[in-house]
Amino acid sequence: MTDDSQRRPIIIDTDPGQDDAVAILLALASPELEVLGITAVAGNVPLPLTEKNARKVCELAGRPDMPVYAGASRPLMRPLVTAEYVHGKTGLDGPELPEPTMPLQDKHAVDFIVETLLEREAGTVTLCPLGPLTNIALALIRAPEIATRIREIVLMGGGFFEGGNTTPAAEFNIYVDPHAAQTVLDAGIPLTMIPLDCTHKALTTAKRLAAIRAIGTPVAEAVAALLGFFERFDETKYGTDGGPLHDPCVIAYLLKPELFSGRHVNVVVETGSELTMGMTVVDWWRVTDRSVNATVIRDVNAEGFFDLVTERLATL
């Protein structure tokens, strides 16, 4: 499937991050998808690093032509919280990746998102947020008319039955910018949320990492080094074999939705209480009459997911 008219156009909004890096590689390795651009946001590390890391990953994939845009350097209302304790000082600790030589685009990420959605046929472009939702919320605030033009938002964020990974109640992406997350959930856009309840079932076990390493290409070696670094923190924290491979679930969901299952429910983000700030309150049992605003994914076929990731990485 190489004909552009057959490919699903997406924008990846991201804060790389080792798992973001694998998500970008998976998308660039997938002929079903047309990556229109990559927009960086502050999150795992500050913006100057996330935009640079996005360019490093494009170059690793042999795609220096991919436009990368820098977006918001801090959340809408709250000070930026970063996660070097998980991702390392650079955000992409693990392998030695060269400094990128491809340029950062002059245009602001929010302008790129708005202009692309206005230019492209309505209902065709899918947004894939892998970090705090600041850029997406700003785009919706700047040009509310884009809401009806978005085909779907498929995002990694939140947690309900599984609790939080940043506070007892909140997952990192939503915790960092809860107001942006609520803005996006309120916009009436078809939205799929892939929370910790799902991603904590997609573990980079030793066997799965060995299968990636065995591909033997420079990309596979870099991915094995990225994930080898990334999993250490969570292995210690959760006592598991491997860490959760969060963000690639978003891309895998676009490629093979049959690997995932969830429910159409209402989700509200806590933005008032400091104790539970950023909690995604999911009405899983439909105990309120709040209207459905998301499909929340709870399960993944982890073997099928890692087979897909491994098979696609082998093509880069």
Instruction: Label the pairing between strands 280-282 and 267-269.
Output: antiparallel
- Return all residues near 201 (Cβ < 8 A) that are at least 6 apart: 244, 299, 300, 302
Minimum distance, C-beta of residue 2 to ligand BDR, in the bound complex (Å): 30
Buried b (16+ CB within 10 A) or exposed e, 262-271: beebbbbbbb
17 binds ligand BDR (CB under 6 A): yes
Q: Which does 83 bind (CB under 5 to 8 A by kind): Ca ion, ligand BDR, none?
A: ligand BDR
Tokens of 264: 């159409």
Minimum distance, C-beta of residue 158 to Ca ion, in the bound complex (Å): 13
Which one among 28, 61, 72, 86 touches ligand BDR, defined by CB under 6 A? 86
Which one among 57, 83, 128, 296 touches ligand BDR, defined by CB under 6 A? 83
- Report yes or no: 261 and 166 within 8 Å, Cβ to Cβ: no
User: Contact residues for Ca ion (CB under 5 A)?
Assistant: 15, 17, 20, 130-131, 247
Residue closer to ligand BDR (CB basis): 163 or 190: 163
d(CA 50, CA 71): 10
d(CA 221, CA 114): 36
Buried b (16+ CB within 10 A) or exposed e, 152-176: bbbbbbbbbebebbbbebbbbbbbb
The radius of gyration of the chain's CA atoms, rounded to the nearest angstrom, is 18
Residue closer to ligand BDR (CB basis): 114 or 267: 267
- Return all residues near 22 (Cβ < 8 A) that are at least 6 apart: 223, 226, 227, 245, 247, 248, 309, 313
Residue closer to Ca ion (CB basis): 41 or 219: 41
105 binds ligand BDR (CB under 6 A): no
246 binds ligand BDR (CB under 6 A): yes
152 binds ligand BDR (CB under 6 A): no
Amino acid at 315: T
Which one among 247, 282, 305, 312 touches ligand BDR, defined by CB under 6 A? 247
Give Cα separations from 96 to 22, 44, 71, 92, 223 (angstroms): 16, 19, 25, 9, 11
44 binds ligand BDR (CB under 6 A): yes
- Nearest residue relative to ligand BDR (C-beta): 172
- Among residues 108, 179, 200, 246, which one is catalytic? 246
Q: Which does 86 bind (CB under 5 to 8 A by kind): ligand BDR, Ca ion, none?
A: ligand BDR
Residue closer to ligand BDR (CB basis): 114 or 212: 212
Residue 264 known to be catalytic: no
Minimum distance, C-beta of residue 17 to ligand BDR, in the bound complex (Å): 4
133 binds ligand BDR (CB under 6 A): no
Q: Which does 135 bind (CB under 5 to 8 A by kind): Ca ion, ligand BDR, none?
A: none
Which sign does the torsion angle of CA 225, 226, 227, 231 carry? Answer: positive
How would you class 182 by CB atoms within 10 Å of its CB: exposed for 0-12, middle for 13-18, buried for 19 or more? buried
Residue closer to ligand BDR (CB basis): 20 or 152: 20
- Return all residues near 240 (Cβ < 8 A) that are at least 6 apart: 203, 234
24 binds ligand BDR (CB under 6 A): no
111 binds ligand BDR (CB under 6 A): no
By CB under 6 A, name the binding residues for ligand BDR.
17, 19-20, 44, 83, 86, 130-131, 156, 165, 171-173, 246-247
Give the catalytic positions in this structure.
246
